[in-house]
Amino acid sequence: MHPDPKPLVLQNATAITPFRREQESTLVLADGKITQMGRAGEVTIPTNAERIDVAGQYVLPGFIDIHTHGGRSHDFADETTDGFDEISRFFASHGTTSALATIYPQPEARFFACIERIRRYCEATGPSRIVEGMHLEGPFLNPKMPGAIRQDYIWPASEEAFRRVMDVGGPWIRAMTLAPEIPGAMDVLRAASLAETTFSDIGKAQHHPLHMSIGHSLARYEQIAEAIDNGLDGVTHIFNAMNPLHHRTPGVLGGTLLRDELFVEVIADAVHVHPAVLQLLLKVKKHDKILLVTDSIRAAGQPDGTYDFSGRQVLLRDGRAYLADAPEILAGSTLTMDRALRTMVKFAGASLEQAAQMASLNAARVLAWKYLRGILAVGKEADVVVLDDTLHVQLTIKAGHIVWRARPTA
């Protein structure tokens, strides 16, 4: 555990709350929380505080990435946790203050070992941890829509298999992607919606909601409503690993665009989804139902070359990752959350306030963190990112700790 840092004061900020823009704001961060926020004359600055002048810069809630496989040559499925701190530093340098380590399907023993490693890592790290749980992208997917995932690694769905997975990961499993049309998947959805797990810090069972998301699926349009009734509340990397929209068979895409209950992830790199389609998504789903995610792989932050993903060779060319044996298939991305935010502002026509909500608050909502994160206000956790006027990261603060700084203090 890290000792509590001395209070931080961000002065002369343009605060993106994200519901409004407050000029000349002062924020006091102490004991892991935002303890004061307002105009300079309305705020009492602690005598021992570190003051940081952010004039001309934007202060936003820290980014929350619920779908990432790794970066800086490391993957969350690696056989050791040695690279997890490096992944976290990479994320922090791009404004991410919370991330879910995303795991693709693997044979059972390897899958469980991977989940156990991530759980131990999360339990061992302190309040400034970036990795705060897991998103299981599977293992209950449709093998006819695998994307870059190995078909032979995908599991049949059953409630019994789901419960064994949860026994290993416990409350650190916060999200799961599945294909609701495969046999047994509706049973998994119901079990996940009613799941109770034991939180290690309180030692007793309580309701632990999982964010359940449809992905790698060939579900019929009519099955979407049934899945929602059984606990589905999200869509994994919309437009990817699903059939395109057809006017006679609307399928997964038609259902997810129309159903207001569903939050949708989007990989906003202008590669996985064309800028015009990003504009369409923003118009149809609105900014309060879109989650920016990276789906980054170990090649993120690395030079072009050959990398591994899910036991398959990936070629990185001009920052774009493709399967070596199927070069028409994208294999994750090298996207970062700050670039996703800039893409939505520059190419999709989002305001900075809207983009900030898509990069933070919406993820906080689906993870049941909405009273803790995603908003700049007194009492919220001190997870903050400072962007310059070109929307590049200058400072990342997690639980009141400075975890990345673009330049040293003068």
Closest CA to 149 of 158, 140, 160: 140
Tokens of 361: 């608050």
Residue 201: its pLDDT value, please? 45
Architecture of the CATH domain 8-60+375-405: Roll (2.30)
Widest pairwise Cα distance in the chain: 67
Are 96 and 339 in contact, with CB atoms under 8 Å apart? no
Kindly report each contact of residues 122-127 with a partner whose C-beta sits within 8 Å and lies 24 or more positions away, as own/partner.
122/172, 123/172, 123/200, 126/1, 126/2, 127/1, 127/2, 127/32, 127/398, 127/399, 127/401
Residue 231 to residue 158: CA distance in whole angstroms: 16
| pTM (predicted TM-score) | 0.95
Residue 319: its pLDDT value, please? 86
Residue 27: its pLDDT value, please? 98
Residue 284: its pLDDT value, please? 97
Residue 1: its pLDDT value, please? 44
Pairing of strands 131-137, 173-178: parallel
Q: Which of 295, 318, 338, 383 is catalytic?
A: 295
Tell me phi and psi for residue 123, to 5 degrees: -70, -25
Residue 38 to residue 44: CA distance in whole angstroms: 10
Spell out the SS3 assignment of 14-74.
Answer: EEECCCCEEEEEEEEEECCEEEEEEEHHHCCCCCCCEEEECCCCEEEECEEEEEECEECCE
Domain boundaries, the chain: 8-60+375-405, 63-366
Superfamily per CATH, domain 63-366: Metal-dependent hydrolases (3.20.20.140)
Give the other-Cβ count within 10 Å of 260's Cβ: 9
Residue 196: its pLDDT value, please? 65
Secondary structure letter of residue 359 according to DSSP: I
Tell me phi and psi for residue 99, to 5 degrees: -145, 145
Q: pLDDT per position in the chain (410 positions), as tens?
A: 456 679 999 999 999 999 999 999 999 999 999 999 999 889 999 999 999 999 999 999 999 999 999 999 999 999 999 999 999 999 999 999 999 999 999 999 999 999 999 999 999 988 789 999 999 999 999 999 999 999 999 999 999 999 999 999 999 999 999 999 999 999 999 999 987 655 444 445 555 679 999 999 999 999 999 999 999 999 999 999 999 999 999 999 999 999 999 999 999 999 999 999 999 999 999 999 999 999 999 999 999 999 999 888 999 998 899 999 888 888 889 999 999 999 999 999 999 999 999 999 999 999 988 889 999 999 999 999 999 999 999 999 999 999 999 976 44
Q: How far is CA 166 from CA 75, 226, 243, 273, in A?
A: 21, 23, 30, 33
Active site residue 295: yes
Residue 22 to residue 25: CA distance in whole angstroms: 6
